[in-house]
Amino acid sequence: MTAPIGYPDKFGALLGTERAERPLIAPKGEATGPSFAEQVHDFVSELNATQKTAAVKSEDFASGKSNDIHGTMIAVEQADISLRLMANVRNKMIDMYREVMRMGA
């Protein structure tokens, strides 16, 4: 059994054709989809689930319940990449906040 390789569901959908169909800027008063806060919340939830899956697979492999080293390593790497992506998004958000605060001064 192997773990699927690819983007988390939300980001894969944003990179696919779904994004091309939505306008980048919504007309005044119209919402085009979930807000940025909702997207971040969903990604954090998916990140948490990925981390838990990696932990369970690691524990199962370490205890001898599972013999699937490839699936375990894939799950651990997916969790690591997702965590690094989230850290980079957080860093960019902090940088943007600081830039906006400098504009007001």
> Would you state the pLDDT for residue 17?
47
Residue 27: its pLDDT value, please? 66
pLDDT value at 103 more than 50: yes
Tens digit of each residue's pLDDT (9 = 90 or more) over 47-99:
999 999 999 999 999 999 999 999 999 999 999 999 999 999 999 999 999 99
Query: DSSP code of 30?
Result: -
Question: Can you give the pTM of this predicted structure?
Answer: 0.64
Per-residue pLDDT at 9 exceeds 70: no
Residues 6 or more apart whose Cβ sits within 8 Å of residue 74 = 2, 3, 5
Among residues 43, 39, 40, 41, the alpha carbon closest in space to that of 51 is found at: 43
Classify the C-alpha dihedral 14-32-20-93 as positive or negative.
negative
pLDDT single digits (tens) 15-40: 554 545 555 566 676 667 888 889 88
**Closest to 52 measured CA to CA, from 76, 87, 70, 81:** 76
